[in-house]
Amino acid sequence: MSTQNTRTQSSAGVALWDEGHHGHDVISTRTFGFWLYMLSDAMIFATLFAAYAVLASHTAGGPAAQDIVHPWYAFGETVLVFSSVLAFGFSVTALKAASRGGVIGWMAVALLLGAGFLGMEIHEFAGLAMQGIVPARSAFLSSYWVLVLTHGLHMAFGLIWMLVMMYQVARYGFSTDVVARLLSLKYFWFFQAVMWVCVFTVIYLHGAI
Amino acid sequence: MLVHLQGPWSPLWGRLSLSEVPYHNMIVVGAFAFAIVLGAAIVGAVTYAGKWGYLWREWLTTVDHKKIGVMYILLGLVMLFRGFVDALMMRTQQMMAAGPHAAGFLGALHGYLPPSHFDQIYSAHGTIMIILAVTPILVGLMNIVVPLQVGARDMAYPYLNAVGLWLTAMAAALVMLSLFLGDFSHAGWVGLAPLTELPYSPNVGVDYWMWAIQISSVGTTLGSINLIATIVKMRAPGMTWGRLPIFTWTSLSTNIIALSSFPVLAVALFLLSFDRYLGTHFFTPGLGGDLMLYTNLFWIWGHPEVYFVVLPAFGIISEIVPTFSEKPLFGYITMVIASMAIAGVSWSVWLHHFFTMGEGPAVSLYFSVATMLVGIPTGVKVFNWAFTMYRARIRYDVPMLWAIGALALLLTGGLTGMMLAIPAINYTVHNSVFVVAHFHNMFLLIAFAAMGGINYWWPKVFGYKLDEKTGRLVFWYWVAGTIVVFVPMYTLGFMGMTRRLDYVAHPSWLPLLQLEEAGIALYCLALYYQLKQIYVSIRDRAANRVGADAWGTSRSLEWMTLSPVPFYNFAVTPVVHARDEWAWRREHGYTNLRPSRYVDIHMPRNTAVPLVIGALSFALGFGLIWRIWWLTALSLVGIVVAMIIRAGDTDTGYVIAAADVERMEKQADLRAQTVPGGRTGQPIRAVP
């Protein structure tokens, strides 16, 4: 980071001040902070899963998990989430090649696939609501709706973020700020896919048994 | 999907109507008049002095970690005053309402507070003291001290830091607003489920409580990310983990706790808000809801929160004791391990807050043993401080008095905590004022340490010491008040008095309640001398100016720059050679603070966005509380738009040229030469 000759030395040759010190690396500091944020986000999901585990059997005479989940439908959503992550991966590869068109193009693909996922989820819950399977029916349904839709809300937020980043890449190119945000968005998007794996396993697969 | 509400609602005003203003309650009207007069006086004074521009440029839009820290502490002190007034009202009510023949005033059957009002006061007291007084004061101290101790120019994310401050401030504003518009929660600061559910608390009180905590805890979580990143990423060259000052270590452990526990609280409160707004059944008594789920989630956050506030207090004591013992801290490594151990154990003790849940002996045993385990690292810390003081040349300056007082409180509070860790005892004293006395004992330890910290670092931030004479009076009156209030409270707990009583059925408890009231009077004297101390110190600041090393025997990095600290902290980043770098330099004669040459400094630019986001969060909370949906939607969209606009701002920093740094440092030099020991940081007290 700095060499001895840029430092103020005492008469005994001890370096006391570092004039060449340039502080921290912006991108690594930003992404580190984002990792910390994701830790807190993971705790949010952990708490929701805990609440779901406690309340899953509290159906109060209403529908239980096996009555309402459709694992094959959710598998379709899984395919969309994973394809979206793959597309985002290609977008990051294009970032390494410093290709604006590549980053924006692949991100648009990721965005469309993510929007497809959200569309399927909205379709599923609209169907439930139509049948009167609403969160106010029982504690199980409350936790089912809240857990799945909390993930959905994260996905929606990711889509808005992608829109902003596509604009920023087009407008500012690969500035330090933009690259730091692209990397954070990558972590965010991959993290939501990991969370979806948990949702799919705990709610849709386990629930169907 | 929204729940059906009892009472009127309109699309424009939500549940808001003029009848929600409690103008018939004389106490509230009095408080309102006081707030109006005080507010008008402040606005008038700022206008008269023509300081609005200064206030806007230097404080409201600042991203400087020291100024943000000062504002955090100021907010905490104001809320501490509010919480104290609540305490005073509760003590007075219990003293006036003892026995069936106690007279009633102002519409109360006994005493002067009807039950609904009394319940709001204790709920507000707890919420305010823990979340809006102690937490901001400690976060403020961490804000000021941690970047200096690691040798950084600012926090890792200065902008985020300001966002955290304004969210916390707006949460406090919401709680204060509940005094004059609607009501506050009556369900305790913990929010006893299912009392917090809509059918049992149909008013806006619980909503005020819920959203204020929610907003402030977002602020605290953001702050914790910032502090952890600052400690991990922003350390000066040579500042290895083994050289990190203990206060920074405790800040790290405490913020790891905050980062991992506050999301749990956020979820618990969100689930409650879904119950209240969307009619879900998480914590309701019917349709499968589980109220113990709330209690568990709350305390899974609540107990780590206790250590979130106690660890920085331990850190402060660990800084003060070596300075005034003129010795390095005993057992540095064990201190670090103990801090991390406390943070770790904090996660596995939550159930001791409700042993009476009926979870069975095996579970009780586990949580009992886990709770007692906390005593080991805490005991290590106590012995380390004791061994630091052993055979030392102790100077009883005001910060040291507070630190020693905190130690005494830690001993009594810790020992009663060990008693409460035993389920058999816990069952007997559950929900008694013995428990109340215990946790007040612990929170007072934190308050003592925080007062010590304020006295200790005040000269660093403002460049002059707080007045010693009045400082001692504050300390001794506070000690006396603590003893006179809480020894009777422990006693009443043993005698069987339960907590949260607006009416005390037992007239024989009256003398002890009167004694507690006398203790409150002593606290009032402490408060008077506290205000006087600040007034006298500001008035006589010219006589109390200090050099870089305000105490002459300080040990860590923050004492290696000017007092008051320039906005760029260090003209040139220091190189660290030892655990107590400043003590090491003093020992080796490297006390000259001048670098060989000055360099350009890159600094973050001020921004109004955090204030705007704070104001929008206030509007969001207000809209949610009164169910004004257009305001809720508008402020939510506003927050997202503000974030996007900020993300498009490419001009967030600026450079101070080396020549300007040199000019500012030279000016500070001239000022410092008028102070004994000033620029070079020589001890300002002559050693006899």
Among the listed residues B297, B279, B394, B322, the one whose alpha carbon sits nearest the alpha carbon of residue B3: B279
CB proximity A139 to B under 8 Å: yes
Q: Report the mean per-residue pLDDT for chain B.
A: 93
> Which CATH class name applies to A24-208?
mainly alpha
Per residue in A154-182, pLDDT (tens digit) is 999 999 999 999 999 999 999 999 999 99
> Does residue B632 fall inside a structural domain?
no
Share of chain B above pLDDT 70, in %: 98
For residue A175, give the nearest of B237, B644, B650 by CB distance: B650
Q: B651 by DSSP, 3-state: which?
A: coil
Query: Could you tell me how many helices (H) and strands (E) chain B has, helices first?
Result: 21, 3
Amino acid letter, residue A176: T
Query: Could you report the per-residue pLDDT of B530-562, keeping only the tens digit for each?
Result: 999 999 999 998 888 888 888 989 999 999 998
CATH of residue B246's domain is: 1.20.210.10
Each domain of chain A, given as residue ranges in start order, spans 24-208
| Nearest CA-CA partner of B211 in B500, B609, B619 | B619
Q: What is the pLDDT at residue B35?
A: 87
Question: Is A67 an interface residue toward B (CB < 8 Å)?
Answer: no
Residue A66 forms contact with B (CB below 8 Å): no
Instruction: Return the structure tokens found at B538.
Output: 């500001």
Chain A positions touching B604 (Cβ under 8 A) are: none
Q: How far apart are the C-alpha atoms of B197 and B491, rounded to whole Å?
A: 35
Is A8 touching B (CB cutoff 8 A)? yes
Q: Are A56 and A146 in contact (CB under 8 A)?
A: no
Token reading at B155: 């926090």
Average pLDDT over residues B106-119: 93
Structure tokens at B463: 């460049």
Residue type, A165: M
Q: What is the mean pLDDT of residues B188-217?
A: 95
Cβ–Cβ below 8 Å for B287 and A60: yes
ipTM: 0.94
Tell me the pLDDT band of B313, cut-offs 50, 70 and 90. very high
Q: Considering the domain boundaries, does residue B351 fall inside one?
A: yes
Which residue does chain B place closest to A145, by CA atoms?
B280
Mean pLDDT (whole number) for B353-370? 92
Q: Which of A21, A22, A28, A195 to mutate to test the interface with B (most CBs of B within 10 A)?
A: A21
Position B473 pLDDT exceeds 70: yes
Q: Round to whole Å and give the CA distance between B293 and B282.
A: 8
B286 contacts in chain A (CB < 8 Å): 60
Q: In the beta sheet, which residues pair with residue A18?
A: A7, B573
With CB atoms and an 8 Å threshold, state whether B572 touches A138.
no
Residue B77 pLDDT grade (very low, low, confident, very high; cuts 50, 70, 90): very high
Q: What is the pLDDT of residues A57-101, one digit of tens each?
A: 999 999 999 999 999 999 999 999 999 999 999 999 999 999 999
* Cβ-nearest to B271 among A51, A140, A177: A51
Q: Which of B11-25, B494-508, B626-640 has the lowest mean pLDDT?
A: B11-25
The predicted structure's pLDDT at residue B32: 87
Residue B597 in any domain: the answer is no
Query: Average pLDDT for residues B303-329, to the nearest whole number?
Result: 96
- Verify whether the Cβ–Cβ distance A55 to B573 is below 8 Å: no
Cis peptide before B194 (omega within 30 of 0): yes
- Give me the pLDDT at residue B678, please: 53
pLDDT band, very low/low/confident/very high, at A3 (cuts 50, 70, 90) = very low
Report pLDDT for B605.
93
Q: B600 phi and psi, to 5 degrees?
A: -65, 145
Q: Which of residues 75-94 of A touch B (CB under 8 A)?
A: none
Average pLDDT over every residue of B406-411: 96
Say if B637 falls within a structural domain: no
What residues form DSSP beta bridges with B604?
Answer: B653
Q: Three-state secondary structure along B105-141? A: CCCCCCECCCHHHHHHHHHHHHHHHHHHHHHHHHHHH
- Is pLDDT of B681 > 80? no
Residues of the domain holding B377: 18-545
B593-616 pLDDT per residue, tens = 788 889 999 999 999 999 999 999
Is B319's pLDDT higher than 70?
Answer: yes
Closest partner residue to B271 (CB to CB) among A29, A137, A146 is: A146
In a domain, B686, yes or no: no
Residue of chain A whose alpha carbon sits nearest to that of B227: A33
Number of separate domains in chain B: 1
Of the given ranges (B134-148, B500-514, B657-671), which has the lowest mean pLDDT? B657-671
- Is the confidence at residue B674, as pLDDT, over 80? no
Query: Which of A43, A137, A172 lies at the smallest CB-CB distance from B650?
Result: A172
B377/B651 Cα distance (integer angstroms): 47
CB proximity A176 to B under 8 Å: no
Q: Tell me the pTM.
A: 0.95
d(CA B349, CA B356): 14
